[in-house]
Each structure stands twice: as structure tokens, then as C-alpha cells.
Amino acid sequence: MAPSASGQTIGRKLPVESAFTRVEDARHRLPRLFGRRDMVVLGLGVMIGSGIFSLSGRQAAAVAGPAVIISFVIAAVVCLLAALCYAELSSTIPVSGSAYTFSYVTFGETWAWLVGWALVLELVTAASIVARVWGAYLLATLDGFGIGIPTGIAKFADPEANVNLVAPALLLLLTFMVVTGTKLSARVLTIVVSAKVAVILLVVIVGATHVKAENYKPFIPAAKAAPAESSPTLLGWILDLSFGPFGTMGIFTAASAIVFAFIGFDLIATASEDARNPRKTVPQGMLLGLGAVTVLYVAMAIVLVGLRPYGQLGGDAPVSEAMASVGVDWAANVVNLGALLALMTVIMVVLIAQSRVLFNMGRDGLLPKGLGRVSRVYSSPARAATAAGAAAIALTLYPKVLELEELLVIGSLFCFAFCAVGVLTLRRSEPNLERGFRVPLVPLIPLLSLAATIWLMLNLATSTWVKFIVWMLVGLAIYGLYGRWHSRLANEDEWDFDNADTDPGTGGLRVVRNENIGPNGKPRGRHMRH
């Protein structure tokens, strides 16, 4: 029997079986279309954004100097630790929803709501910000190819304009593509991701021939005092210290911002229900995608820092400006085109991920249940995708949306922390569940992931923390007024654990418990694909 709404909600957990069998009928199960390659493409699509063309230059010039290369490595290691935890949880509970669903099973409904609410913050902010930035690259690309845009029209593409019409138009187009079906989105993503990876490789290879060793000195510039008007980090506020740019702390401060560039591997888990054989393909896509992106980002940072002194890398287009400074003038057009393609795929994957989170929360009753339905026409969560696009369009109309960039990072790190603890908790509470992937060196790896995540969160500005706390309080109010009372767990008398709820041919999975423990102390486990 499920607990009533008047009972305890913090400890009201979604049974593991129900994570697999909660779909009311077959038409509300997402079709399984993605293979391993598609999952890797999803990861590359969202992780390779404009950051690869600008973030390394800005952080080198203003925060870390040439040691920004170390910052990228630190950020990659932190994300790898988190990705290992995500990989195990997504292979154990391979349904849409990512950290939200993991938390629902592991910690309970209230905690799951908070994690889901943090995911909504991360995704809607990402789509809104990136759509605004896309307009700037569109103008630069057109200008590079000699296509002039009248000033009266161009002003509506300015990322910082009070009235920006290009960003909403782009979001409307990409939302339409996500609503009308996953197959179309996957094909477009594959083509565009291939093109932008080719652009990045071309820039790295050509730029490597113009690197100068003296530009790497001093590798770690001397620390400077923090500007008086800057918002202190939470760690600095706690210790009553002011951490300025450069020096050793500059490396970690830059790493906290650079995590933004790697965020996206976690979004692969939101598409678990779209994947074929998700116990294997989701972890593989997550880890392979993160590995490929790490190589590209570190290579770009090494080349960029070597092209010119780090103090000159703070321009609007660091990569193309650095290439032009060594005589490779054509690079500006290539970089702008690559960034244009990169940003489009970021937005598309973010909208797909947002729709899956809303779909799951609607299916669980924490949001209006209409969001948890799959369109008969498009075989996609059309209502959830429409809501995701509408929210992003509304936020991108806010003139100061670019100032919310750190909310992306804190929302993601919040979910990382829950996944690290979730691995340890689920290993203890459900040791015999089938796991397509297992985190090595437990409990060391999850604890390291948790510690690294908390450290990066402490290095975010106090103003970001204030906004995040306000967002979470609003979320708690919505849950208390709506979600708590409309939750399926609060209103269903019982769960039918025998109902597999799998549409023939979709390759759905159901929970597997293997009571036979092998000689290594681990459950043998096996696949139960239909």
C-alpha cells in the first residue's frame, strides 16, 4: 500500500519495481530508438558548445593564466567521478528522469522533487542563455561571409539587448523539432555534431603549428587581490578571506567555471528510456562522450594558450583572434561557423533532456499529469517538450539572462552530489539489483566525487547561492501546494508489480534481482530484455 498524502513525504520512496512499471499503458512509454552511437552524439552535442571557443581564453586572461590547462583537467576529473556514479545509477534504473528518478528511488519524494527542480533550473537556464549567445555568432558568421545585416535588424540579435527576437525564434524552431519526434532530432544532431568536431580538429591542428613556448610562462601567474566590487565566493565568505585571480586559487576558481563546459554528460541519463539496451548503451555513451570532450577541450586550451600571451586572450572571440594574430585570418569564419553549429546542438539536447525530466515528473503526478503523456502522432512527450520550449522562450526574453550563467553550474553540482550519495545508498539498500555498470573502488570513488563537488560549489559566488536558495524555496512551495497532494504515490492504493507495462518491440527493461551472489561478493545479474 502506498503512503497517503497526509503521511510522511520525505521518506516516501518510489519502489524500484515501480520505476519500471509505472507507465499506465503502452502509449505512454517512449520508443527505444537510440543506440550507443546516438548516446555519444547526445553527449557531444551538449558538451561541445561555444565554451570550447571562448571559455579557455577568458579564464586564462582573467583568472588562471596558462594554468587554465590544469583547470580543465581538474574540471574533467570532477565530472569523470560524477559520470561514474551516474553511469551506475542509469544502468540500474534505466528510465527517463536521470538524477530525479535516481533520487526518487533512493532518497524519497521530497528529495527527488528538489533534485528535479534543480534540473529544471539547470536546463531552462542553459537553453535561454545559449539561445541568446547564438545570435551573436549568427551575426559574426554572416558578416564573415560578406552578408550584411541592417543595424535596425541586427540589434535584435544582440545577446545583451533588452529586446532579443532571434533567441526566441531559434528556440521555437528547435522546440518544434523536438516535439515532432526523436528520430528527426537524432539525425540532425549526428550531422551537426560531426561538422563541429571537424571544425575543432582543424583549428587545433593548424593552431598547433604556430605555438610558441614562451607564451606558457609564467605558467601560474602571481596571485592578485580581488576587485573590491566582485562578489566573494562562498568559501571566501565562510573563511572571511578574499580570493583574487591567478595563483593557485585562481586555478580552482577557473575550474569551477569550466565545469560549465563539461556539463551535459548527465543529460544522457535523461534519455535512458529512449535507448536500446540502456543498461549498457547509456553508461558507454556517457563515459565515451566525456572522454572525447575532455581530449578536445584540453587540446584547444593547450593550443590557444600557446598562440599568444595569456593577457591578450580576453577578447570576444579568443580563438579566432589568436589565430589571426599568427596570420591564420580564415580561422575567424571557421570558428564562428563551428560555434554556430555547436550552440544549436547544445540547445536541442537541452530541450530533449528538459522534456524528459518534465515527462517523468508529470508521470509521477508531481507536475500536471498531462506532461507525462506520449503523443500518438509523434511518439514523443510532445506536451513536456512544448512546456520546456515555452519556459526557455520566456526566460530568454529577460534582458539580464546572461548573468545567470553560474546557476547552470550550481544546479548541476547539486545533482552530482545526490548521485554520489545515491550510489552508496543503493548499494546498501538494494545490493542484488542488476547493474550494467558498477563504479570501481566503492566507497572511495563516490566519496571523492562528493568531496570534489562540494569543493567546486564552495568556489561559486555568494550571489549565485542566494539565487539558488530562492529558487529551491519556490520549488518547495510548489511541491507543498501541488506535488505532495497529486503524487501517484499519494493517490494509488497499491502498485501492480506484476505488470511489465512494456510495449512489444520497444526493448523495455524490468527490474532484476539476483539472489545468487558470485564468489567475488557481487551479484551475477543478467539482462531481461523483451
Q: What is the pLDDT of residues 439-472, one digit of tens each?
A: 999 999 999 999 999 988 888 888 899 999 999 9
DSSP H or E stretch at residue 311: none
Residue 97 predicted with pLDDT over 80? no
Question: Across residues 45-53, what is the average pLDDT?
Answer: 76
Question: Which one-letter amino acid corresponds to residue 205?
Answer: I
pTM of the full predicted structure?
0.82
Determine the Cα–Cα distance for residues 483 and 468; give it in Å rounded to an integer: 20
Is the four-CA dihedral 175, 89, 508, 194 of positive or negative sign?
positive
Q: Rounded to a whole number, what is the distance in angstroms from the first to the last CA of the chain?
A: 28
Please answer whether residues 428 and 107 qualify as being in contact, where contact means their C-beta atoms are separated by less than 8 angstroms: no
CA distance 498 to 197: 46
Quick one: average pLDDT of 64-76? 92
- 240 neighbors 337 (Cβ within 8 angstroms): no
Does the pLDDT value for residue 500 go beyond 80? no
Of residues 236 and 493, which shows the higher confidence score? Answer: 236
Residue 24's pLDDT band (cuts 50, 70, 90):
very low
pLDDT of 423 above 80: yes
User: Which residue from 209, 203, 213, 267 is spatially nearest to 52, judged by alpha carbons?
Assistant: 203
Predicted local confidence at residue 22, as pLDDT: 56
- The answer to whether the beta carbons of residues 460 and 256 sit under 8 Å apart is yes
Q: Mean per-residue pLDDT for 29-55?
A: 73
Q: pLDDT tens across 165-177, in order?
A: 999 999 999 999 8
Q: Which of 261, 248, 253, 205 is nearest to 408 (CA)?
A: 261
d(C-alpha 475, C-alpha 356), whole Å: 18
pLDDT in tens, 114-156: 999 999 998 999 899 989 988 888 887 888 778 877 777 788 8
Rounded distance between C-alpha atoms, residue 111 and residue 12, angstroms: 10
Nearest-angstrom CA–CA distance, 317 and 258: 17
What mean pLDDT, rounded, does the chain reach? 81
Query: How remote is the C-alpha of 297 from its chain's centroid?
Result: 16
Quick one: cell of 2? 502506498
Which of the pair, 97 or 299, is modelled with greater confidence? Answer: 299
- Report the C-alpha gap between 130 and 396 in whole angstroms: 9
User: Is residue 189 within 8 Å of residue 198, measured between CB atoms?
Assistant: no
